[in-house]
Amino acid sequence: MYGIGIVRGLGVTLKHFIETYIDDIRWLGRRYYNPEALAIRQGPKARGAFTVQYPEERLVTPEEFRYIPFLLYEEGEDGTQQDRCTSCGICAKVCPPQCIWIVRSNDPQTGRPIPEPAEFFIDIDICMNCGLCAEFCPFDAIKMDHDFELSAYDRLSAHIYNKEKLSKPVSYYASIRPSNYNREEAARAAKEAAKAAKRES
Amino acid sequence: MEEQRPDPTEMALPEQTIPSDELETRFQGGVRRDDRDGYEGYVVDTGKLVEFATTLRDEMGYDYLSSVTGVDYLPEAQMEVVYHAYRTSGGPALVFKVQAPRQDPIVVPTLTGVYRGADFQEREIWDLYGIRFSGHPDLRRILMWEGFEGHPMRRDYRETYFEEEGKPFKNRWPEGAVYRIEDKQPFNKNVRYPADFTPDGWVPEGDAALYAGMMKVGPDGNGNGRGLGTEQIIVNLGPQHPSTHGVFRVVVTLEGETIVDLKPVMGYLHRNHEKIGERNTYLMNIPFTDRLDYICSMSNNLGYVLAVEKLMGIRPPERAEYIRVMMVELTRIANHLWATGFLLNDLGAFFTPALYAINERELILDVFEATSGSRMMCNYMRFGGVARDLPQGILETVRELVFERLPRRVDELDAYLTGNEIVRSRGIGVGVLTAQQALDYSAAGPVLRASGVAYDVRRADPYSIYDRLDFDVAVRYNGDVYDRYLIRLDEIRQSLRILRQVIDGMPEGEIQTGKPVYQVRVPAGEAYGRVENPKGELGFYVVSNGKPNPWRYHVRAPSFINLTAMGLMCVGQKVADVVAILGSIDIVLGETDR
């Protein structure tokens, strides 16, 4: 009979419709604004409506999520900041859209370059978030951020980030990418230990 | 990296299946082997080209012309056109080239009479390289606008934002004097116009010519001359039209509601991807390939990486091969879900089926995000491996998806749509492309296979680990919109079958051959790497001269070439079917316009 296919199809729509309400009942009204429910609602076991009530409710960003890069600095106990960046320029060389500008510092007395950036710019209008800078930085000094809410009122003045705006403490990095951080620290410690052993022998 | 390079005898390409000098003796003096280092195939005299191609097609079985592209050998003052022909029964390419001195006018005979699929590709070469194809039926610009001055892919052409011949640019480090590009090239000054150009007085001659060519007005004036008082009219569909999946324009000649002629017009999203690619280093191109077909960035990565790996002579470790195949098959499922959903959208089922499909796709994108860091712009493959290993627990998520959720959801989609009478009546018998036509027009992917040609690069010319995997090449035989819908469901099921084997067989081990380096050394030569992208055969033609930047970087875009046959599919149909036919071809404008 003509139309039977349409009716059968509408059955699928009805099923989806009902599933959302069943899921609502299962969570006893706590389907939304509930991290536990969100994890299931966004996973492979999800049923019914798939939506997230942004911005009150947010998707969990996975550790590897990457957005505009930032620079890391070590915090001393007395509050001093030590950049990890040595201004070697590798990030500026691998950057596909060439959006990184680095000014290397020079020693005021001798005029010789010192391993520290005087300035560091990233044009975030041009940055394509590919993550190659973070991937190839030999000093773990530039990493990709998780912060994606970057809207500004004026794109002409606000979209070239300087060193001050880009710098974030290592503790922040450890909080957004714990497993990467631990792996890198372990590698660093192993390297230090090997160096120390070599010095002793 | 040297010591990890495998034995070259293992890496050798499968032997050419033609007796080595048959072609050379047959075309006395007109054909010679390309003996440049790292090059393959034949160099054909311009005068013998058509005869040569006809012989290949009719006597040697090379019935499928995959790619046509130009190369500007500026130091040698040569222009070259490179053709890659394949047998649909499988096997490696037969590469042939014609060379012409680099002095305008550069003229090469057209191959549209032998392979119709050369049509758009030759237009593109005319547009970007300024090589004229004598005898081409419609040699207009295709990607640039008609008023454009110059041919931008020539090596001596400098684009508006030109800084240096190749990246990295020297002013970025160590004296990084930062500036905004708009300060140097303010809006309105970033386009070069011909000398006598005024926006108000300009008549788009190309458009006028297009319309005049499409109005098939007979000697008795407009009308079909069969007593009916109908008049032919020309209708523009797009470029701003929601059903064209982007900025894409279709010009149709209508008689009543019936289509008499149809021509796609494209290039609105053109950014000269290939020129950017030639300024980039090899590594920098990987994230740019994400932006071609932005629905399937993982498989774009794979195609490009394979081409460069061919040149470098390296292969990734086993685990990386498995991860790659897992990612590209997930991409195929995501793409076909998307295509099916939006085909239904185009048929008028506004967004309910599309959202059910997108729902599942979103779960796949979550896997990509957790692995590569981005849902769509994955930038995941590297030369000789992948960027990073799978994160903890992601394999379990994929397992759950592949073994439990997706098979059910595909069956649900099938039950939801396949029997629907509206889908059937809008799809069956609409936009038919026969097997012969599909081959002739170089259609690829689901469009080709829905017409009854069981040609799949994964089987015909296997790459990665596909020769070890058990799957069927999905084929349908009617070549209409409905079959192109069905074949996508078939392919999702085959992809799930591949994924089950890949997940169960995923080995432990390294994910990268050698140490990751940002400046790879690529020996001089040419390579054509191709993969079966969800939309069809995606090919990357890369020419290296041993420098850090590729000399030539060409993309054989399936969305672009599949459109060659669109006119053929639409003629005789109703105007409302254009949208359905376009939806069934499944194009992405990022790739079409490049």
pLDDT at B553: 93
Contact B176 A3 (CB under 8 A): no
Q: Is B388 part of the contact surface with chain A (CB cutoff 8 Å)?
A: yes
**What chain B residue is nearest to A42 in terms of C-alpha separation?**
B363
Q: Is B405 part of the contact surface with chain A (CB cutoff 8 Å)?
A: yes
Round to whole Å and give the CA distance between B498 and B279.
37
Please name the residues between 180 and 199 in chain A that touch chain B, using a CB distance below 8 Å. Answer: none
Asked if B183 and A126 touch (Cβ cutoff 8 Å), the reply is no
Return mean pLDDT, chain B.
86
Asked if the model's pLDDT at residue B282 lies above 60, the reply is yes
pLDDT tens string B74-84: 888 899 999 99
pLDDT tens string B222-263: 555 555 566 788 888 878 887 777 888 899 988 888 888 899
Contact B371 A64 (CB under 8 A): yes
pLDDT at B173: 84
- Break chain B down into helix, strand, coil percent, rounded to 5: 40, 15, 45
Looking at residues A126-144, what average pLDDT do you find?
A: 91
The encoded tokens of residue B374 equal 């981005």
pLDDT tens string B375-391: 999 999 999 889 988 99
Round to whole Å and give the CA distance between B265 and B90.
33
Q: For residue B581, what are the contacts with CB-CB under 8 A and spacing of at least 6?
A: B430, B431, B481, B566, B569, B570, B573
Looking at residues B156-170, what average pLDDT do you find?
A: 85
Contact A96 B415 (CB under 8 A): no
pLDDT at B497: 93
Q: Which of A16, A102, A135 is facing B173, going by the closest CB pair?
A: A102
Round to whole Å and give the CA distance between B69 and B125.
6
Round to whole Å and give the CA distance between B97 and B110.
13
Asked if the model's pLDDT at residue A184 lies above 50, the reply is yes
Lowest-confidence region among A55-64, A173-182, B2-11 = B2-11
Round to whole Å and give the CA distance between A30 and A24.
7
Distance of residue A175 Cα from the nearest chain B Cα, in angstroms: 17
Q: For residue B73, what are the contacts with CB-CB under 8 A and spacing of at least 6?
A: B79, B80, B102
pLDDT at B223: 56
Q: What are the C-alpha distances in Å from A60 to residues A42, B364, B553?
A: 9, 16, 38
pLDDT at B363: 92
Round to whole Å and give the CA distance between B274 and B285.
10
Residue B383: CA atoms inside 13 Å, Cβ hemisphere, count? 26
DSSP E strands: which ranges in B288-431?
Answer: 381-382, 385-386
Asked if the model's pLDDT at residue B464 lies above 80, the reply is yes
Contact B173 A179 (CB under 8 A): no
Which residues in chain A touch residue B415, judged by CB atoms under 8 angstroms apart? Answer: 8-9, 12
Distance of residue B180 Cα from the nearest chain A Cα, in angstroms: 8
Round to whole Å and give the CA distance between B261 and B235.
11
Q: For residue A189, what are the contacts with CB-CB under 8 A and spacing of at least 6?
A: none
Across the strands, what pairs with B107?
B132
For residue B194, what pLDDT band results from cuts at 50, 70 and 90? confident
Asked if the model's pLDDT at residue B58 lies above 50, the reply is yes
Q: DSSP assignment of B15-50, as one string?
A: PPSS-TTHHHHHTTTTEEE--STT--SEEE-GGGHH
Place of tokens 């690529």: B522
Asked if the model's pLDDT at residue B124 lies above 90, the reply is yes
Asked if the model's pLDDT at residue B208 lies above 90, the reply is no
For residue A69, what pLDDT band results from cuts at 50, 70 and 90? very high
Asked if the model's pLDDT at residue B267 lies above 70, the reply is yes
For residue B14, what pLDDT band results from cuts at 50, 70 and 90? very low
For residue B5, what pLDDT band results from cuts at 50, 70 and 90? very low
For residue B11, what pLDDT band results from cuts at 50, 70 and 90? very low
pLDDT tens string B391-442: 988 999 999 999 989 999 999 999 898 888 889 999 898 989 999 999 999 9
Q: For residue A83, what are the contacts with CB-CB under 8 A and spacing of at least 6?
A: A71, A72, A73, A116, A117, A141, A167
Contact B178 A121 (CB under 8 A): yes
Which residues in chain A touch residue B163, judged by CB atoms under 8 angstroms apart? Answer: 98
Distance of residue A77 Cα from the nearest chain B Cα, in angstroms: 31
pLDDT tens string B346-382: 888 888 889 999 989 999 999 999 999 899 999 999 9
pLDDT at B225: 52
Q: Which of A97, A96, A115 is nearest to A106 (CA)?
A: A115
The encoded tokens of residue B30 equal 């007109």
Asked if the model's pLDDT at residue B31 lies above 90, the reply is no
Distance of residue A29 Cα from the nearest chain B Cα, in angstroms: 22
Place of tokens 């774009």: B300
The encoded tokens of residue B285 equal 């191109």
Asked if the model's pLDDT at residue B187 lies above 80, the reply is no
Asked if B479 and B434 touch (Cβ cutoff 8 Å), the reply is yes
pLDDT tens string B510-558: 888 888 888 888 888 999 999 999 999 999 999 998 888 999 999 999 9
Distance of residue A145 Cα from the nearest chain B Cα, in angstroms: 11
ipTM value of the model?
0.91
How many percent of chain B have pLDDT more than 90? 41
pLDDT at A3: 85
For residue B20, what pLDDT band results from cuts at 50, 70 and 90? low
Asked if B580 and B310 touch (Cβ cutoff 8 Å), the reply is no
For residue B15, what pLDDT band results from cuts at 50, 70 and 90? very low
Looking at residues B1-30, what average pLDDT do you find?
A: 56
For residue B3, what pLDDT band results from cuts at 50, 70 and 90? very low
